Amino acid sequence: MALDDSEATFLVVINGEEQYSVWPAHRPVPNGWKDAGFSGTRAACLAHVETVWTDMRPLSLRRALDGDARA
């Protein structure tokens, strides 16, 4: 299956830094990533990521810049 297959199903995945990606649904989610709860065509998943990923800075950087002690 090609990654641009318009009929394939993809998952939106997220890592510990709250960074998003699109992953083929037929493959196991890689270590360090988890299912973000959205699936569909690649285009639909990319549109969802564009909607929910409003701050592209990694979580650790956002925390550091906010002075969060958990950084």
Say how many domains are in the chain. Answer: 1
Q: Closest by alpha carbon to 4, among 45, 50, 38?
A: 45
What does the DSSP assignment read for 37-63?
Answer: EEEE-HHHHHHHHHHH----S-HHHHH
Q: Is residue 4 part of a domain?
A: no
> Which residue's structure tokens are 């992953």?
23
Q: Is residue 60 part of a domain?
A: yes
pLDDT band of residue 67 (cuts 50, 70, 90) is confident
Output the domain CATH number for residue 50.
Answer: 3.90.820.10
pLDDT of residue 71: 47
Each residue of 38-62: pLDDT tens digit? Answer: 999 999 999 999 999 998 888 889 8
Q: Is residue 2 part of a domain?
A: no
pLDDT of residue 70: 56
Each residue of 4-20: pLDDT tens digit? Answer: 667 799 999 999 999 99
Cβ count near 19 (within 10 Å): 15
Q: Which of helix, strand or coil describes residue 37?
A: strand
